[in-house]
Amino acid sequence: MHTLPALSLFSLLARWLAATALVLGAWPAVAQDTGTDSPGSIDAGLEQQIRQLALDGTPAGQAGAPRLEVSVGQLDPRLRLAPCARVEPYLPDGMRLWGKARIGLRCTQGTTRWNVYLPITVKAFGSGLVVTGNKAGGSVLTEADLTLGEVDLAETGSVAMTDARLVVGRTLTQTLKPGQSLRQSHLRPRQWFAAGETVTVSAQGAGFSVSGEGQALSNGIEGQPVRVRTESGRVLTGQAVGERRVELAL
């Protein structure tokens, strides 16, 4: 059996230890001292602060959610935090408290200042359409397939459908189970017009609204950009929003 020289073996061992130290150093050398035996757990007082911060920062009003629930997760159990006399929860910049999100925790009074992120889940319950039975992908929805129920509006990134008039006659993109919330992503996009058709082009801004006609240069698929040539020959890009209607983004 071929053996490595002792010097080479120690050299490899030293490199491995150095690499391990770098990996471990990538994790904050902290994880809250909660006064419990469970690594990564949060004490009751701090958890209540986190829940209140999440509730205050949730866009419940604009989503029409009458009932909110916040589930607080756990810190990474591999973290080992220096003791801290005061832990302050805060909202990370740009964080939307909707569905799966994070709350920041920082030590403001301790021998070592640290900052970690705690996973949370925000559920927003409101009225939405649910399917009454099994519906196969590719099938067309009827009024009998739908009923209103309480759904978690924040469950996915896709908007929950709430108006049956906007979905009856639409085709499903996937199979849905009884009681499942109907989402915009479950519906096949509609084609509002075909390339070559004459369409109405409109634009709205602060204190003004203009409209005119143009020729579609591509099919008008719901939610997708479409190019239109105006009567003057100018080519504009907008979005198909209805039967032979295009809106320009200003």
If you average pLDDT over every residue of the chain, what do you get?
82
**7 confidence band (pLDDT: 50, 70, 90):** very low
- 39-70: burial string, b at 16+ Cβ within 10 Å, e else: bbebeeebbebbbebbeebbebeebebeebeb
Asked which of 124, 139, 160 is the last residue of a domain, the reply is: 124
CA nearest to 202, candidates 220, 190, 219, 214: 214
Say if CB 157 and CB 99 are below 8 A apart.
yes
117 and 57 within one domain: yes
In a domain? residue 8: no
146 and 204 within one domain: no
In a domain? residue 1: no
In a domain? residue 31: no
Work out whether strand 99-110 and strand 191-193 pair parallel, antiparallel, or are unpaired: unpaired
pLDDT at residue 19 tops 70: no
66 and 132 within one domain: no
pLDDT at residue 4 tops 60: no
203 and 181 within one domain: no
154 and 108 within one domain: no
86 and 63 within one domain: yes
Structural domain count, the chain = 3
158 and 94 within one domain: no
This prediction's pTM: 0.64
| Residues in contact with 185: Cβ distance below 8 Å, sequence separation at least 6, in sequence order | 156, 158, 173
138 and 92 within one domain: no
Q: With H, G, I as helix, E, B as strand and everything else as coil, classify residue 45.
A: helix
CA distance 189 to 49: 43
Say if CB 122 and CB 70 are below 8 A apart.
yes
In a domain? residue 5: no
pLDDT at residue 2 tops 60: no
211 and 229 within one domain: yes
221 and 195 within one domain: yes
pLDDT in tens, 55-73: 888 775 444 557 899 999 9
137 and 165 within one domain: yes
CA distance 119 to 9: 42
CATH of the domain at 162: 3.90.1210.10
Asked which of 124, 150, 171 is the last residue of a domain, the reply is: 124
Asked which of 124, 141, 174 is the last residue of a domain, the reply is: 124
107 and 49 within one domain: yes
CA distance 35 to 187: 50
Domain region containing 220: 191-247
Would you give the end-to-end CA distance of the chain in angstroms? 74
**Lookup result for tokens 């705690």:** 118
What are 225's strand-pairing partners? 239
CA nearest to 39, candidates 74, 73, 71: 74
Token pair recorded at residue 31: 């994880």
CA nearest to 31, candidates 40, 42, 22: 40
pLDDT in tens, 192-216: 999 999 999 998 877 788 889 999 9
pLDDT in tens, 90-133: 999 988 888 999 999 999 999 999 999 999 999 999 999 999 99
